[in-house]
Amino acid sequence: MPSSEGRPRLPCRTWLFVNAASALTDATRRRDGTVNRALLDFFDRRTPPNPTPLHGVSTSDHTLDPSRPLSVRLFAPHSHPSSDTHALCRRLARRIPARVVSVDYRRAPEHPFPAPYDDGADVLRWIRSGALPDSDPSAPLFLAGDSAGGNIAHHVARRSSSSPSPSPPEAEAEAVAGLVAIQPFFGGEEATGSEERLWDKVAFGSRERFEWMWRSFLPPGSNRDHPAANVFGPGPGPGSRSGSEDWTGFPSTMVCVGGWDPLQDRQRMYAEGLRNAGVETRLAEYPDAIHGFFAFPELPEARRFVDDVADFVNRTVDRIRAGPARPDA
């Protein structure tokens, strides 16, 4: 863990981008709790899909429900070689290799809880139905997400593991093989040590912005100990929610934590809660990383992160394909 003194060491280009993104987020918030979505979208223009492989990965867009609208972008690796979320999808698709589906889910405050979870669950059903072009619905399926997406990926995995299981062999095809929670965005009423220590030292934001984000998403009258924000309650100990819930079907999970992320204590508590619930959990620590570090390929931690995710996915797939271990004769 880095010293609480000073600030993270980042290239000037990275600092400029992080501070600009932080300033833009604050500039688009309105006093009535809404956001200037048009201004946000202006600075977040999506590049068109490219069916011709670029750096070894082709892309295509697919609409699931035009009324929301709900759409996804598919990143498909190709045999020849190949910073934003889509750039990360491209790197992961090439490195694992795997087909990566990026979900354009609905966002708060226009679409609060549980809209993003519903969208994620619908995309998961769409993939399992075989609707994804040129895909094998029985192939191992992983959920992944960063920050708010990490929170969403967890809750989609939780819904999937808690739903009635089909009979074999359908059960094997339906199961989520693994979850990669990348600096997941969780909350709670009581401030953690890392929040107190780091809010003012990184451009990720202030505690006031953190609290505003949760108010814009959670149901009216809820606080940050709502299960959407605080998965295991105020703490992962004996009195936590995990003690009264069945986590048997929850997938193996990799939790990625950055040493300069104010939310790191909550992410470690999440990993501890999963372990206490009997979930196979891997904690990946990046001591010099800020929140969202993976989006900057110039950072050494970002390159190691991609390797770590590929290792987790491939080891999990190998274990699934090997089947349950047989006792010695």
Structure tokens at 108: 């708060």
Contact 291, 257 (CB under 8 A): no
Q: Which of 58, 71, 138, 147 is catalytic?
A: 147
53, 93 in Cβ contact below 8 A? Answer: no
Amino acid at 228: A
Take residue 193 and report the two structure tokens written for it.
Answer: 């040590």
> Rounded to whole angstroms, how far apart are CA atoms 100 and 149?
14
Q: For residue 160, what are the contacts with CB-CB under 8 A and spacing of at least 6? A: 121, 124, 176, 249
| 82 in active site | no
Round to whole Å and give the CA distance between 28 and 108. Answer: 13
Taking a C-beta distance cutoff of 8 angstroms, is the pair 103, 68 a contact? Answer: no
Vertex 57: Cα angle to 283 and 148 (nearest 5) = 40
Known catalytic residues?
147
